[in-house]
Amino acid sequence: MKNKNFTSKEMMVVSASRFLKDDDIVFIGIGLPSLAANLAKRVQAPNISMIYESGTLDTKPERLPLSIGDDELSKKALAVISVPEVFNYYLQGGKIEIGFLGAAQVDKFGNINTTIIGKDYKNPKVRLPGAGGAPEIAAFCKDTLIMLRQTKRNFVNKLDFITSVGYADGNNSRDKLNFVSNGPKAIITDLGILEPCKVTQEFILTHIHEGVSIQEVKDATGWPLKISENIITTSSPSLKELEILRKLEATQN
């Protein structure tokens, strides 16, 4: 592997941030999605509207928030609305273009688990925080982006628990749920980018990050990962992207 001047986490955050365009309306989960969206706002998308589930609309935080309801988000927001309003009028009412989610686990159809690891709901191996706003973000935003580190434990063939729906069982089964939204557009990881197959909606590897081998990605995936015939190597973070990202991360107190 070549010597790189950036970490795999930085590569993941930068490649996720590049999905966001100026003027996008984005509903943001805390953690990695918040970091990537805030980076995009400082690089190519200064006019992006960021919405957090605490009801902070079009917020412009100067430092990274620790939680979805930090005072920084509230003080710098265009408006602050109640939580029932966020979920009913903005998400269920279809006013958001992009939902940006993290996950504990995903499966090959982009369904997400953030609830429990283990087969027995009452006696799980690990109790995770649960749903929060994720099921509605996944169901009602026009498009969704998912980002998480890629390991065999996180990328599973079948989830123990479906917290938020991606493409359900694939092969257009999501359509039967009558969502007006499109489903997950990409899963961005520290190894590459996966996108859904147009026919089966199974996620396949379409981009690989510089210095990562295809075997490495396969080994970090819990299903037999298909590789796109036209696989692209992601362009490395620019100096500007890295500099802004590092400055941004340093603002989290």
Partner 1 sequence: MTEFLSLEKAIQKYVKPKTSVALEGFTHLIPHAAGLEIIRQKINDLHLFRMTPDIIYDQLIGMGCVSKLTFSWGGNPGVGSLHRFRDAYENEFPNKIEFKEHAHSAMANAYAAGASGLPCAIFKGYLGTSYPDINDDIKFMKCPFSEEKLTIIPSIRPDIGIIHAQKADNNGNIWIKGISGSQKEVLMASKKTIVTVEEIVDIIDEKNGGTIIPRWVINAICVEPNGAFPSYAEGYYNRYNAFYKEWDTISKDRKTFNNWMNKFVLSTKNYTEFFKKINNEE
Residues contributing to the site for partner 1 (CB under 8 A): 30-31, 53-56, 65-71, 73-75, 80, 82-84, 86-88, 91-92, 115, 121, 123-124, 126-136, 139-140, 161-165, 168, 174, 177-179, 253
Q: Could you tell me whether strands 192-196 and 184-188 are parallel, antiparallel, or unpaired per DSSP bridges? A: antiparallel
Least CB distance from residue 71 to partner 1, whole Å?
Answer: 5
Is 132:87 a contact under the CB 8 Å cutoff?
A: no
Of 76 and 218, nearer to partner 1 (C-beta) is: 76
Q: Which of residues 46 and 129 has its CB atom nearest to partner 1 in the complex?
A: 129
103: nearest Cα among 114, 111, 88: 114
CB of 102 to partner 1, least distance (A): 11
Least separation in angstroms between CB 27 and partner 1: 12
Q: Choose between 166 and 237: whose C-beta lies nearer to partner 1.
A: 166
Are 228 and 45 contacting, i.e. CB atoms less than 8 angstroms apart?
Answer: no
CA distances from 120 to 47, 123, 127, 169, 243 (A): 45, 5, 11, 21, 45
Q: Out of 10, 53, 136, 241, which one is annotated catalytic?
A: 53
Q: Which is nearer to partner 1, 215 or 253 (CB)?
A: 253
Q: Yes or no: say if 232 and 209 are a contact pair by the CB < 8 Å rule.
A: no
E strands, 60-104, in order: 79-80, 98-102
Q: Is 53 a catalytic residue?
A: yes
Q: How far is the CB of 81 from partner 1 (least distance, A)?
A: 8
d(CA 113, CA 163): 5
What amino acid positions are annotated as catalytic residues? 53
